[in-house]
Chains A and B, each alone.
Chain A
Amino acid sequence: MTVDPLIELRDVNKYYGELHVLRDIDLTVGKGEVVVVIGPSGSGKSTLCRTINRLETIQSGSIRLDGQPLPDEGKALARLRAEVGMVFQSFNLFAHKSVLQNVSLAQIKVRGRKREEADQRSRALLERVGLAAHAEKYPAQLSGGQQQRVAIARALAMDPKVMLFDEPTSALDPEMINEVLDVMRQLARDGMTMVVVTHEMGFARSAANRVVFMADGRVIEDRAPEDFFTRPESDRAKDFLSKILKH
């Protein structure tokens, strides 16, 4: 699966002051691949995800997207971000806009689509995530699971080349986790390239092509999910899995 790399990280290092949060990260994600990143809290997995669209800057190393290095700032960076969908742990729907406006806004402002065209596409995407009936509501009127599905529709509306998920189900009540994971599984089946930071091992097993295990800012293992879950190589991974699979 290393043909046609879409995301390439080489020797990426990041510090928060003294704290070395990403250490010599090398990671390649191919077109159509679903890579799940797991690991204990503070292992740097969210930070890694956020460096890919430069919501976090890095101190050294290189990140390439579709062969192009990430631009520093300004319009070029904005253009690139439009190609990378991102879904956040806390949904981050625009609180002052209706569901439909949330999905349409960037289509109009960034892609330059006409309002009717954007709204039509938004309604189609809301239909796809099962929320067509809620288009006129405001985010605060929806449950967490519904908000997260709107957030996915909003990211998809830009026709991104890749989708980043930063712990998309961590802020959800247990009964709402599956409605979000179902949408993500469907996306994976449709061939979307995805990087998913999650604690949902079931999702990792069923939907991922590769599992990347991180600890202390390093990539410790990078393998097929079945291999990783049944025969972890490192002590760190064995320890992690024993803790989460016991209860």
Chain B
Amino acid sequence: MDVLTDNFSTYGEGFLGTVELTVFASLLALALGFVMASFRVAPVGSLRAFGAAWVAVLRNTPLTLLFFAVLLGLPRFGLVLPFKVFAVLALGCYTSAFICEALRSGINTVPKGQGEAARSLGMTFGQTLSQVVLPQAFRSVIPPVGSTLIALAKNSAIAGAFSVTELLGTYKTLSELGYDIIWTFLWIALGYLIITLTISAVFTVLEKRWGVAR
């Protein structure tokens, strides 16, 4: 029990680190996932191919491998950034593939006639997507996007192995100080629970507000 009260600042730093990683990587994943989903339904063949390749590569690469590729690979090409930024990039890009597919399944639930009506009124592809199709697709993808972001929060633990300050990584410091491993992990688990339950709560509210009425 003392492990939390004695090391509150260590836990706090780790917790904030995970929150930061989760928030920034989520924003990146949502933005990129949105762009890639648009690509995948675009009338231009090369955009569709790019979107498909993006999803195939990122969704099928183990996240740890992707971390290695980004944190150790990119500096070799002269791109040197703080490890935290690299970690956000790796997490965000990886998760964007899943967001893209969730969005695309949502787009497929919108009846074809909605897009046809928008096009018949003279709206461009971008307007049709942003004004008519995506707002309706958004309603049905709230639950799967929530799950994907919860997975992201937990995946952020991998960043700890690359000396980015985050919640799981705190166990190393604490076990070196001789604290009981069970209690150390219990408090870490509680920290993750706070983050993931917050995400769930946000998405439950979103679903109540915007979800498809039945």
Which residues of chain A have a CB within 8 Å of any CB of chain B? 53, 55, 73-75, 78-86, 88, 90, 92-96, 105-106, 109-110, 151, 154-155, 158
Closest to B135 in A: A96
In the complex, what residues of B have CB within 8 A of residue A92's CB? 111, 113-114, 116-117
In the complex, what residues of A have CB within 8 A of residue B113's CB? 88, 90, 92
Q: Does A94 contact B122, Cβ atoms closer than 8 Å?
A: no
B122-150 CB mask vs A (1 if < 8 Å, else 0) is 11100100011001100100000000000
In the complex, what residues of A have CB within 8 A of residue B131's CB? 105, 109
Q: Does B119 contact A94, Cβ atoms closer than 8 Å?
A: no
A55 to B132, CA, bound (A): 17
With most chain A CB atoms within 10 A of its CB, the pick from B111, B121, B131, B132 is B121
Q: Does B116 contact A78, Cβ atoms closer than 8 Å?
A: no
Find residues 80-116 in chain B having any chain A CB closer than 8 Å to their own CB. Answer: 111, 113-114, 116
A78-B123, A110-B122 as given contacts; A88 in contact with B114, CB under 8 Å: no
Q: Bin the interface of chain B by size.
A: 10 to 19
A109 to B114, CA, bound (A): 16
A49 to B122, CA, bound (A): 17
In the complex, what residues of A have CB within 8 A of residue B121's CB? 81-82, 105-106, 110, 154-155, 158
B43 at the interface (CB under 8 A from A): yes
In the complex, what residues of A have CB within 8 A of residue B5's CB? none
A106 to B122, CA, bound (A): 7
In the complex, what residues of B have CB within 8 A of residue A95's CB? 114, 136
In the complex, what residues of A have CB within 8 A of residue B132's CB? 94
For the complex of A and B, 7 pairs with smallest distance between CB atoms: A82-B122, A106-B121, A92-B117, A92-B113, A86-B120, A110-B122, A81-B122
A96-B136, A109-B127, A109-B131 as given contacts; A53 in contact with B120, CB under 8 Å: yes
**Can you give 19 A-B contacts (C-beta < 8 A)?**
A53-B120, A75-B124, A81-B121, A86-B120, A92-B111, A92-B117, A94-B117, A95-B114, A95-B136, A96-B135, A105-B121, A105-B131, A106-B118, A106-B122, A106-B123, A109-B123, A109-B131, A110-B121, A110-B123
A96 to B127, CA, bound (A): 15
A74 to B127, CA, bound (A): 12
Q: Does A55 contact B116, Cβ atoms closer than 8 Å?
A: yes
Q: Does A78 contact B136, Cβ atoms closer than 8 Å?
A: no
In the complex, what residues of B have CB within 8 A of residue A106's CB? 118, 121-123
A110 to B123, CA, bound (A): 6
A154 to B114, CA, bound (A): 13
- Shortest Cβ gap from B126 to chain A (Å): 10
A108 to B120, CA, bound (A): 15
A30 to B121, CA, bound (A): 22
Q: Which of B43, B122, B139 is close to A73, meaning CB atoms less than 8 Å apart?
A: B43
In the complex, what residues of B have CB within 8 A of residue A88's CB? 113, 116-117
